Structure 1
């Protein structure tokens, strides 16, 4: 038998009955992969479940969907495995040692959306005498290892590895804070990443000019097995106390490109404004831009008016005009390659890392009021009930009548116009508002997922330091723009199909069965029923959200509903958008900051014959690869933006150590509680060791820590009062002490976890042994 081919004799047959129609369920596939780790191919799954004939294609589609959803993953040999478990043999990289001197590793390949699991490397007692000519595996080494699941939940690491052989060197790059030794030369590196709790020794010859408090990039030095790991500094960024370093940490920690190559800058600077030639003149239409007051770019404009067609009584016409980025960024050009590499712009409280150079994003493709700008517009016609009757795409030249903020528009509509919005109220804003009201009727019938979560905004002062944290503004004018953009995006997807052009869709799958079951179990603890039939719709979630609206449970139920959703991604294979309840949806409205939109513009240009700068055959062939890449860059930016916000807030709260705050329990683990503060939205941790002298059980169903003796319960969503004990700006970490909160545990609660969490107050190291290896809160 050829190497790598599954042996049928050793494959366990699946238990349980198959789904009607010849297909296994997702649960059966996941169970089968758990029972048959290793070389399990698509063919092996089909054979095991007796899938034949016409059922093979649906099985292939199901496995693809499960892969995109992150439930399973395919290795280089196209074998499948569950993503929540490592294969029995894999390549790992030893990244650091823990507080007990044990070697800790991560898998080199990990396709899941959650952070890769930590692996403790077992001591190698089987090395033969001749092997001692080669040093044992140490930090920075890549090794082939046998992986075993650690079943004891008291252990901090979920996997243990037994080294088979070293296969190469993979020095880890670490962003951290340099602390110089008070006596002697050299110093230590304090990593900014929360998962890396250990410090690294910096030898005098490896300091590379760094000074006390500098933010630096270092790489691990291999070979040291015990004691403090070593690292050498490769790059110095400057003083970590400088508030500008906060975003810099996130940029470099997540590998976000922030400097444009010279050829990209040269191409952007050489670009010229496009005139009217080959375009429709839209300059007489009073299109306006509506954005946040601090918007850094303006790439979409809107206009609406009653439809004059007598056959559409009560209907409206609306135009959404978008900056024509495709006119300046040609396929395969230096700017295009760099934009694809970045995938999207990344926004921090104090800066933006743009996808395109400023010459493009802030000048040629920014729809500045009073200036001619090339645009790609869609003219849409809606009936009196908000149903779209038709649309037309136009490559035009526009001139924005005004650049307004959401607040300006809202106050004008509410009867308080300022000097800029006042003259536009009757001729522009009121017709626009009336059109929105009509279009919103169809939205209400469509009933998309209606989550309304507060967003905290960080205000930065002139000195670059955080001036305050507040809940972001919410205006109905924001919903107006959102709905117009959604309609334009739908038109783009529909038009691409009509002209038979392949595009990248924005897709959002329905929640997995496992997440729906977990959600229903949690809601049951609040006496809320959740219907989870085969045909789940956003309306199912909206009914629950409306039941808790305005109650003490509204925030936490909204959070849990959000967590139950799949992640939206980009793909050339359309499965629709569950959250928006739309069959076709493609991003069209922000080509300045999203590469996906640029690819859609090019597809429409080619399909409608609107120019020679449209989609190329090479781009069509690479759409799958592009979609996977920009889905990754989007996730990367989201995490970097979130991390940066955490660090800014930690810096803001550092001066308030010892202060008391109110908040709610936002997460429950067997190591302790995560608390979100009401005032700032900051997240911090309450270690289980600080909860008192009881023994706590982690009840996974009701998301609570239950005291064995006191029967006190600390549950998800509970209001609490905490004291800030520690704030670490360089990592964004906050540690709280719980002062007040908790309630009596429900009858029977506290016995539904596989293992107890641990005794609160037990002396187990700096943060408690239970919390060791817990890592980042995300």
Structure 2
């Protein structure tokens, strides 16, 4: 056996955790000459199999324990209100949770918060790691505005933040409350103050009352700085602007129709299909927003700033003013409208043979809701779709059936996760929570839009034109390794040698669909996926299994689509209002901005929905629900409640008197003594203990017993579980959380 070997290297690192660099390890083991090449290979091998984590260019640490001195990242506030960090490696955080224990020695500095990083000394005691901070690297912005509930005090008041991520409390002097009363929702800015003194602020806006049904959306809008009011110059342009004169093809004779949600406020796409002798012709017509919103105008600057429309249960914050989004640009029924269309020819197997883009004028013949189109195709009579069954709907469904063959062969990722709908009454109050139904009508429109988007990407790429792709990268090696580890606990093998493919994920989902593990597998597959983004550089779209893809079909509500329209106009010479050279040169910056605005909207929409769900459930405290574990962390369980689909949190200290150990590979909390377990996907009965509508938080008590120990199950070493009574585990009494109801799951 060559020297050094794996065991020798690991033994040295275990005994000398402060010696982390290759040079220090080599010197400690007295490795010289060619043995250093062998040491380098061993270190790379240990890193590849996850035994070591790289903490620097030539430095390593044991992956299951933090180095004695190193960089840590503060990740969360646990159920006891304590700040939890993890060690930082080259590819992210690693190792067990580390509890923050203040600054080291006489060191002083600003208090760290979630998202901060710093240099710290880490020590272990009774299976638990603690960090003494030496220096804080990244301080969150303490000067950022706060949105929350104003509470009166004898000397003025204080603001309780609406965001669960904001751990600040601002005190408000009487002279700075600007008329705010107890229970008002306000926006405030911090005042400069002493570093170690209480933080004071000034109320800038009174947004409404906490008991106002509209508060859920208002809080999300202001917390995420989503612009609501349009500047006067933008509104003036919207009221007076006319579409630019360009040569157009007359499409008004075609039976183009719109199919949208029943409550749709704008209509930016229409569809048409026609049977050919050897296949199908499909036309997708899109509102010609580029004819109205031209580069360099106030309208364009504001649309780019907003990036996209934001949709809440009770309102829409549009990207474009009402005069355009719901009128001039909307493909309203029986009105002539400028459009950008793509005509696509498919053979009988759904394979596209050709396509061409058209700048035209269209007239929508009908406005149907998804339910109405589906009812007509299903043979139900008397509805508004019946009139269009023979001339329009049957050809559309015939083309959709052909495209379905090509889609099945292509094999996009088949993750069908249910969405919840918050139903709002006329008084603005939540009347119910339902699951959105999925019809073939939805899938038809979705598939036609995908084909139009692909055609746009293909045309621009072929012409060498500037292009903003919608890219979805394949899962990372780390996420695939985590997936394989989890599946191993279910006795499902996943070979790590193969390249990730959607067909393989779909086979896994199909094999487990009717088993007890179905929902857990769907959840872990979803978590393994990357987030889709905009990028001028193409890496393909993994989820759709497409080599090239762009967004073309929604320019009323997405600025990315407007850029693609302008690129098509320029490259196909369809008018003088195409993509400018300045904008083409800035596509990387624009893409980054649009990713930010998209994620901002997603976060705001999710928060508003969470608050509406909390409002709906606040009179149901004490009620019992069936639920499913959708997330397992060292701090406790995230549980999705049946019926409403609301997500709540059950802290580990409330589970039982057992010492619970977090087992990351199996996504489970395991009782160290008995081996009983709570695991991802498990169905449990819960009681709703507390609701905090301001933050949208639900605190749950798990009533169901844990699952029994698995045969042959090994109980992992401590990874941050909470103990029961004194004398067990770490000897700490499990306490009620200090921030009850403030933690809550969300979409993963």
The bucket for the TM-score relative to the shorter chain is: 0.7 to 0.9
Per-residue CA shift, 1:98-143, capped at 9, x if unaligned? Answer: 999999999xxx99999xx99969447557xxxxxxxx755799xx
Select which of 215, 220, 238 maps to 2:190: 220
Give, in angstroms, the shift of residue 756 of structure 1. 4.3
Per-residue CA shift, 1:195-252, capped at 9, x if unaligned? Answer: 3456443332332221010111223345456686443323221211101111111111
Counterpart of 1:190?
160
Select which of 680, 703, 715 maps to 1:751: 715
- CA distance in 2 between counterparts of 1:558 and 1:685 reads 20
Per-residue CA shift, 1:581-630, capped at 9, x if unaligned? Answer: 10010010001111111111111100000000001110111000111111
Counterpart of 2:18?
none
Greater displacement, 318-327 / 277-286? 277-286
What are the equivalent positions in structure 2 for 1:661-676 lying under 5 Å apart?
Answer: 661-676=625-640
Give, in angstroms, the shift of residue 361 of structure 1. 0.7
Tell me the SS of whatever aligns to 2:55. Answer: helix
Work out whether 1:253 is the aligned partner of 2:223: yes
Counterpart of 1:180?
152
Tell me the SS of whatever aligns to 1:740. Answer: coil
Structure 2 runs not aligned, ≥5 long = 1-20, 27-35, 61-65, 726-731
- CA distance in 2 between counterparts of 1:625 and 1:153 reads 48
TM-score (norm 2): 0.85
- CA distance in 2 between counterparts of 1:667 and 1:137 reads 34
RMSD of Structure 2 on Structure 1 (CA): 4.0
C-alpha contact 1:700 1:752 (8 A) present in aligned 2: no
C-alpha contact 1:691 1:760 (8 A) present in aligned 2: no
Greater displacement, 706-715 / 396-405? 706-715
Tell me the SS of whatever aligns to 1:527. Answer: coil
Counterpart of 2:348?
384
Q: 1:9 to 1:552 in 2, by over 3 A?
A: closer
Select which of 280, 290, 294 maps to 2:263: 294
Select which of 30, 36, 42 maps to 2:57: 36
Counterpart of 1:67?
none
Counterpart of 1:207?
177
C-alpha contact 2:698 2:741 (8 A) present in aligned 1: no
Counterpart of 2:375?
411
C-alpha contact 1:650 1:727 (8 A) present in aligned 2: yes
- CA distance in 1 between counterparts of 2:76 and 2:510 reads 48
Q: 1:614 to 1:238 in 2, by over 3 A?
A: same
C-alpha contact 1:317 1:382 (8 A) present in aligned 2: yes
Q: 1:192 to 1:325 in 2, by over 3 A?
A: same
C-alpha contact 2:103 2:133 (8 A) present in aligned 1: no
Tell me the SS of whatever aligns to 2:228. Answer: coil
Counterpart of 1:617?
581
C-alpha contact 1:137 1:166 (8 A) present in aligned 2: no
Select which of 248, 252, 273 maps to 1:283: 252
- CA distance in 2 between counterparts of 1:329 and 1:24 reads 56
Work out whether 1:450 is the aligned partner of 2:450: no
Counterpart of 2:209?
239
Per-residue CA shift, 1:1-54, capped at 9, x if unaligned? Answer: xxxxxx9999999976599xxx9999599978523389x9xxxxxxxxxxxxxx
Structure 1 runs not aligned, ≥5 long = 1-6, 41-83, 128-135, 308-312
TM-score (norm 1): 0.81
- CA distance in 1 between counterparts of 2:249 and 2:558 reads 25
Q: 1:537 to 1:102 in 2, by over 3 A?
A: closer
Give, in angstroms, the shift of residue 298 of structure 1. 0.6
Give, in angstroms, the shift of residue 708 of structure 1. 2.2
Work out whether 1:481 is the aligned partner of 2:445: yes
Per-residue CA shift, 1:297-356, capped at 9, x if unaligned? Answer: 11000000112xxxxx43000000000011011112111111111111111101111111
- CA distance in 1 between counterparts of 2:660 and 2:211 reads 39
Counterpart of 2:16?
none
Counterpart of 1:553?
517
C-alpha contact 1:449 1:539 (8 A) present in aligned 2: yes
Give, in angstroms, the shift of residue 530 of structure 1. 2.7
Greater displacement, 759-768 / 557-566? 759-768
Counterpart of 1:364?
328
Tell me the SS of whatever aligns to 1:363. Answer: helix
Q: 1:100 to 1:546 in 2, by over 3 A?
A: closer
Greater displacement, 331-340 / 293-302? 331-340
Counterpart of 1:47?
none
Q: 1:10 to 1:381 in 2, by over 3 A?
A: farther
Give, in angstroms, the shift of residue 188 of structure 1. 2.2
Give, in angstroms, the shift of residue 502 of structure 1. 1.2
Q: 1:608 to 1:150 in 2, by over 3 A?
A: farther
Q: 1:89 to 1:738 in 2, by over 3 A?
A: closer
Counterpart of 1:734?
698
Q: Tell me the number of residue pairs that the alignment of Structure 1 and Structure 2 aligns.
A: 700
C-alpha contact 1:118 1:159 (8 A) present in aligned 2: yes
C-alpha contact 1:504 1:599 (8 A) present in aligned 2: yes
- CA distance in 1 between counterparts of 2:378 and 2:312 reads 31
C-alpha contact 2:79 2:635 (8 A) present in aligned 1: no
Work out whether 1:306 is the aligned partner of 2:270: no
Work out whether 1:424 is the aligned partner of 2:388: yes
Q: 1:560 to 1:395 in 2, by over 3 A?
A: same
Greater displacement, 685-694 / 525-534? 525-534
Give, in angstroms, the shift of residue 774 of structure 1. 7.3
- CA distance in 2 between counterparts of 1:664 and 1:97 reads 23
Counterpart of 1:57?
none
C-alpha contact 1:706 1:749 (8 A) present in aligned 2: no
Per-residue CA shift, 1:432-486, capped at 9, x if unaligned? Answer: 1101101111101001100111111110000011110011111011000000000
Tell me the SS of whatever aligns to 2:428. Answer: coil
Counterpart of 1:343?
307
Per-residue CA shift, 1:522-545, capped at 9, x if unaligned? Answer: 122223233443422100100011
C-alpha contact 1:175 1:218 (8 A) present in aligned 2: yes
Tell me the SS of whatever aligns to 1:251. Answer: helix
